[in-house]
Structure 1
Amino acid sequence: MHPRQAPARVALVTGGSGGIGRAVVERLARDGIAVAVHYAGNKARADETVAAVTEAGGRAVAVGGDVADERAMSEAFDAVEREFGGIDVVVNTAGIMLLSPIATLDLDDLDRMHRTNIRGTFVVSQQAARRLRPGGALVNFSTSVTRLRFPSYGAYAASKAAVEGMTLVLARELRGRDITVNAVAPGPTATPLFLDGKDQAAIDGLAKAAPLERLGTPEDIAETVAFLAGPARWINGQVLFTNGGVA
């Protein structure tokens, strides 16, 4: 398919069909950015997100694939370029969080997080490094747990510390390309991924931890992403801890 009138700016959001990813998609679309909504397995939810953007007057398309599969991601990037003519912003929200004390962690869970959080981020970052147009932005996702050091988050924090490392190196490797590379590190945020398995007392305690005395929202995180994706051209090679002051 040849692109119709090409939009001024195009974004691909991995994990864009739910939670923080969907908030990012909708926020970028409000800035006039055409958005590719990536999904791993739930096409119906991605289609719902595309429909919501379209109904609000934006442009969006759904693209699928395993973020850790380099061929699938190459095809996803190809599909976005065919639809919209190029890619300016890549936001990597796709990730999984499996919690356990390190001493008792099922190593299969460690491997699952490594595949999605580390290899998946690396594969998508590699494609972004090859394809982003000048003036582009790559936004990866870490976590404030790399500072908060909550018990049972050891393997997850390790996977996200790896994301921070690759992000900061890539920012320097893209010297001269006019492409920014940053990571966003949310704190406790009211998403199903974070709230699952926590009782109300635990949720209330986490909400009080930040000086602003509430949990973050997906929209809070999306606002930071929109800043990095658009006007924040002098922020590069950084990890932004978007957590209300909890860490």
Structure 2
Amino acid sequence: MSRADDALPPPTGAPRLLDHLIELRARLLRGAVGVIVVFVALMPFAADIYTLLAHPLLKTLPGSGHLIATDPAGGFFVPMKLAFMTALFATAPWLLYQAWAFVAPGLYRQEKRVAMPLLVSAVGLFYLGCAFAYFVVLPAAFGFLAKFTPEVVAQTPDIGKYLDFVLVIFLAFGASFELPVALVILVLLGWVTPAQLREWRGYAVVGIFVVAAVITPPDVVSQLMLAIPMCLLYEAGILASRLVARR
């Protein structure tokens, strides 16, 4: 080997990739440990959490209404599933922080200043959408459906199907409330402008009502309760995108 070869710096691509993989593994492990710790802490309260989740439905059931478990082991596994989903829900900020800590070193200062408010807003809006679904949408939807249920029909919902139904509603409303963040990101990427968002307002309203009709239960109340907030959030997204575009 010549002296010229000795003077060449060693390749650094592989070690850097290995460092990134080690860092990624560490972040994933920290996130998983956080979820497991919260899940273990919630396990003794799984039945109480399910009772709290079923409260909007229990209020609308006639007489001594109650839920049933068609699966012999459903009385155990369904609350445990809810406890795990609650742990994911509660540790979402911790999981996003781990993702942010992994990505942030590769961002410019200006990108960090923009990404952090968007990340915090996305988490807050998702929680707000889930809270809106629990406190407003579910009681109104169950009350509306109970009025049209014949008296000869015994309402005894299955605990597993009810949990799946509520989780879908939470995911639908939580994701729908991310609309302002999505609009701001589109403006930051240069794909649309605030002026175009204002021009497309009519099409957006039609699309919102179509989406609400698809992802909500087949009743008018829940569809309106998703479509109206989304229309307001669309307007909020236009205002936020205008502020971002000016800066």
TM-score (normalizing by structure 1): 0.26
Point out the structure with the larger helix share: 2
Larger radius of gyration: 2
Point out the structure with the larger strand share: 1
TM-score (normalizing by structure 2): 0.26
